[in-house]
Structure 1
Amino acid sequence: MDKTSWLNLPSLSFPVKTLFTGYLMVTGLGLLMAGAQIMLTHGMADGKFGLSVNDIVYSYYGNQTGTTLEAKLNGSMKMNAPPQERFTLIQWARDGAPKSEWEPKIKPIVDQYCAKCHGKLAGIPDLPKYDVIKLFAKVDHGATEASMVRVAHIHLFGISFIFFFVGLIFSMTVGWNRWVKGTLVFIPFAFLVVDVASWWLTKWNPEFAWFVIIGGFGYSLASTIMIFTSLYQMWIMPWRGKSSDENTWHVDAA
């Protein structure tokens, strides 16, 4: 048995433990909210609640049997308009989005059910304008390359910071084999790359949609293990290894 320094979770001071705990709890809540957001956006791409391979395919490769507008109205936007109005919009898009029907028939529906967000919130297409909505009345080819680049760089920069600090805190746990600990710290980064790379692969070939699900599941599971293990060792784990100076733990050398 070798004596470790103070830099391990069970021996941290109370203020540092509360700092780490607050960060881990908020991060865990953020991961739950991210999962809920995925269920309410990508998870509704096929019109059914719950994430499936079809949801991933429709989100990135597209539902190339219909228009983008139809895919949205049967998917994530399904609850925002009554069935008859949605059918009218879908049929208009299937007919080639004729401008002659825009002012008398289509624009009133869009103004009533879509304009409360579209055209008022930044980053959302201004659908009450004919020149904008006609772009969505075309065959659905999924997410555009520009939107994927924008989301990908946010994911890679932002989420990697989350994984860095979660991994840093977890690296202070005791009782782990160093190779197991190092693997757990590295897994979220590896699966994040798999997740983002598979968006592009799915855009090219829908068979790669499974890798999106595998990537998200992999980094979520590893992060959950690290968060709960860290919280356990800070607050619940018995202090049977505590030394007489009350600031040092004895653990097996890794």
Structure 2
Amino acid sequence: MTDYQTITSEITGGKAVIRLNRPDKYNALTSQMRAELTDAIRTAEGKARVIVLTGNGPAFCSGQDLSDGTNIADPDLERVLRDEYQPLVRAIDEARVPVIAAVNGPAAGAGANIALGCDVVIATESAYFLQAFSRIGLIPDAGGTYWLPRSVGGPKAMGAALFADKITARQADDWGMIWEAVPDTVFEATWNARADHLANGPTAAYAMIKQTIRQNWGNDLTGQLDLEGKLQGKAGQSRDFKEGVMAFLEKRAPKYEGR
């Protein structure tokens, strides 16, 4: 799939920028958009060293487009989640390169949780996050019940899900939900600089960092120490490790190859 209609995808300098592109609908998610996002992420991870997800227009993503073929009389939401949302969530989680969510505006419902499933979330200060599901009698999905408690703890996650209050980007930053909230005037420059930093870094090490941090939730201490040892041994054999040490000793900037 290369001719996308609901998103755009551009890869330059090792950086893939994927933009949700239904600005007139606040980038609400349709079946087609979910398929295109999944395809774009899977494609980009084989060609780029960092992936950025962001939105065109005033919103990052307003969540599910309720007019997109939803049979309100007899909806099969379990199928939609299994066949369309889960592949997208897993594509982000399993990507071998870092995935940044550059949240340019409101992120609601599944849009919020897709952002929270990324490795790093950078939001503009005018953005907000909203677990809107209970407003229409649903529960958080698209990974929300997994990511939210792990980022802010049970009490904050429960309140966010039950009350469906807006959480400003500044609140999200203070709570540890996201990496950083930055002024609107420097938002684009900030996430681009962060992405460029990762695109020029030790990609193989980043993949292993991602693996160890994400797997820690299912490991006890012994299992995590074993995983650390195994992957650190692998990292120590990489060209990037040798280059990093030599650059440190020679007092110069390293030139990583990503392997």
TM (norm. structure 2) is: 0.26
Q: Which has the higher contact order (CA 8 A, sep 6+)?
A: 1
Structure (1 or 2) with the greater helix fraction: 1
TM (norm. structure 1) is: 0.26
Compare CA radii of gyration and give the structure with the larger one: 1
Structure (1 or 2) with the greater strand fraction: 2
